[in-house]
Amino acid sequence: MSQSYQLITDSAALLAFCQQAQQAQFLAVDTEFVRTRTYYAKLGLVQVQADEVIALIDPIALQANRTDDGLTPLWDLFADPQKTLVIHAGGEDYEILNLHMGTLPNAIFDTQIASAMLGEGDALGYAAMIEQRLGVELDKSQSRTDWMQRPLAPEQLDYAAADVLYLSQVYPQLLKQAEEQGKLDLILQESAWQAEKRAQQIPDTWLFLHFGNAWQCNPEQLSVLRELVAWRVERARNADLPLGFIAKDHVLLDIARRMPSSKSQLHGIKELSSVTVRYAGEQMLEAIRRGQDNGPLELKLQRINDIRGYKVLFNKIKALAQDVANELAIPAALVASRRQINDVLHWCVQIPSQAQHELPLPDLFASWRGAKLRASIEALINESD
């Protein structure tokens, strides 16, 4: 890589860079993190290009001997509504930024979203975008590297710097095209919405409504499943462990349906870790008893395809989405994917009204999609009742 970078490991250097970066028109941003054995992602590196300066910011070094994460000047910079953050496919970046910043950046331009809106490929990867636009083939050898190790090797740092070097070169091209095609506002709205989704919190008590195959449970089993799902996520957060380390989804479903009443019965559940039973078996049994004591839920979930009139409703919503796509001159899949249509049907037909008031809106009812589609979709649902 031809461009040099600055590795920032102390507060004075970080503050100086952030003050300098205030003058830049935009910031190209990426993060490197590890999330293999933890519930929360561990931030290993933050890469920023501001004008011609690339900074590789080491949060591990900056956090040493501090009570905070040592990155406050950077988070303040990112939160500046006058400063556009250019990110590619920022889903997990948004999640980790929200975790550390306590808020989301105010102005985001996601280059994957822009590429899709401009008709250049849905879910285009960073390397593919750079090769397509700049003719540069990126080195992918460090894509699965351990970003928590120290010191970081030169090849790791080169790889990380390349993520923002070429991003800053592609952004002006995409920005110009977006303005020429009249799609800039749409790209910014979608970028903001995708970031907002990563910051949304589903109340623990309603997590079971989005649990795969929950429809296999009868109302009594659903009551138990609700308690088990809430217990699992609370334990995962407190122990900072992945959900699957505590109990995989199909195991939790099996427990809810069988409702074991003792540790010995828990040990009989196939694929349930003996470690989980040993250290959390009593808590799990308490969750099962709570669900039983609460009684059957006044709710019967169905497999989405079994909802009355599903196929007709699905096709009508798909047609509405196609009309919006034609109006906006974007691919129909960017307006409403199969999953997004299923999500909105699940919401309208199966989510209780109390839960609707406490849950985030489905995609097709939120942001620019909601403005275009919500009233029409609700009318379709009401007509089908």
Q: Which of 269, 251, 253 is nearest to 218 (CA)?
A: 253
Q: Which of 163, 120, 119, 77 is nearest to 328 (CA)?
A: 119
CA 229 – CA 232 distance, rounded (Å): 5
CA 49 – CA 169 distance, rounded (Å): 10
Catalytic residue list contains 32: yes
- Given the residues 5, 32, 95, 110, select the one marked as catalytic: 32
- Given the residues 30, 110, 190, 363, select the one marked as catalytic: 30
The answer to whether the CB of 166 falls within 8 A of the CB of 206 is no
- Given the residues 94, 159, 166, 171, select the one marked as catalytic: 159
The answer to whether the CB of 17 falls within 8 A of the CB of 68 is no
- Given the residues 58, 93, 110, 227, select the one marked as catalytic: 93
CA 368 – CA 192 distance, rounded (Å): 11
HEC per residue, 202-224: CCHHHHHHHCCCHHHCCHHHHHH
Catalytic residue list contains 58: no
Catalytic residue list contains 76: no
Catalytic residue list contains 94: no
65 conformational bin, left if phi > 0, alpha if psi -120 to 50, beta if neither: left
Catalytic residue list contains 10: no
- Given the residues 95, 110, 163, 227, select the one marked as catalytic: 163
Task: Name the residues annotated as catalytic.
Answer: 30, 32, 93, 159, 163
